[in-house]
Amino acid sequence: KNEVEQSPQNLTAQEGEFITINCSYSVGISALHWLQQHPGGGIVSLFMLSSGKKKHGRLIATINIQEKHSSLHITASHPRDSAVYICAVRFNGGSQGNLIFGKGTKLSVKP
Amino acid sequence: NAGVTQTPKFQVLKTGQSMTLQCAQDMNHEYMSWYRQDPGMGLRLIHYSVGAGITDQGEVPNGYNVSRSTTEDFPLRLLSAAPSQTSVYFCASSYQRGRGYEQYFGPGTRLTVT
């Protein structure tokens, strides 16, 4: 079964800390997404990547295709980064609609 | 652009009632999808469409119908609501970029079936 696993499930950090959220998947993929969901809010796409590394502001996403693993890093974390971060993948051969989602990592950043 | 819009934001139904969740996008994306989000689970695909007139089933299609008569609209119909359909529903549209599809999500509809 094609699966996506995220760790940790919950994460509490102090403002300013460097944060890492991990995502691993079971078989080959064509693309991996990192999404952000604020409490009571909608879902926003942060990154889509197939290889290497992407950076946007304080957010960095990396992917290692050989190890089937991706990480989302947040530098100089801030309370407004508190949200659920979701990893999703499109497995090779899957139709465009067939994204498989992880269960999410709930991040809380304390001031 | 309004992006992806969904109505209603909240809805309470009684078991057996039917209703339609509306979804519209103004970005001319060919691909649209419906997901449900339940506590402790990842989002799961209900139905999707690769263009007007074309729809297909996702992981959890039972109890739901969709149609795609225009590029902009992709309504989700609950035929006979059941408590198991209590969930938050997200509509998404996407377009192909490289090897993946950039995703845009609507704000969600919180549905309670009593």
- pLDDT tens sequence across B15-46: 999 999 999 999 999 999 999 999 988 899 99
CA A2 from centroid of its chain's CA atoms: 17
Residue A1 has pLDDT above 90, yes or no: no
Q: Compute the radius of gyration of chain B from its Cα atoms.
A: 13
What separation in angstroms does the CA of A70 have from each of A7, A66, B27, B101? Answer: 11, 11, 29, 18
Position B1 scores a pLDDT of: 76
Residue A2 has pLDDT above 70, yes or no: no
Q: Across the interface, which of A90, A95, A101 has its CB nearest the CB of B42?
A: A101
What is the rounded distance in angstroms from the CA atom of residue A51 to the CA atom of residue A15? 30
With CA atoms as reference, the chain A residue closest to B59 would be A98
Residues of A with CB below 8 A from B58's CB? 97-98
- pLDDT tens sequence across B67-97: 999 999 999 999 999 999 999 999 999 988 8
Q: B52: how many CB neighbours lie within 10 A of its CB?
A: 16
* DSSP-based three-state secondary structure for B84: helix
> Which residues, in sequence order, are bridge partners of residue A93?
none
B101:A31 CB<8 A: yes
B58:A100 CB<8 A: no
- Measured between CB atoms, does B89 come within 8 Å of chain A? no
Mean pLDDT over all residues of chain A?
93
* DSSP-based three-state secondary structure for A89: strand
- pLDDT tens sequence across A18-71: 999 999 998 888 899 999 999 877 999 999 999 999 999 999 999 999 999 999
Please report, rounded to a whole number, the percentage of residues in chain A having pLDDT higher than 90: 79
A98:B45 CB<8 A: yes
Nearest to A13 by CA among A70, A104, A81: A81
Of the CA atoms within 13 Å of residue A30, those in its CB half-sphere come to: 17
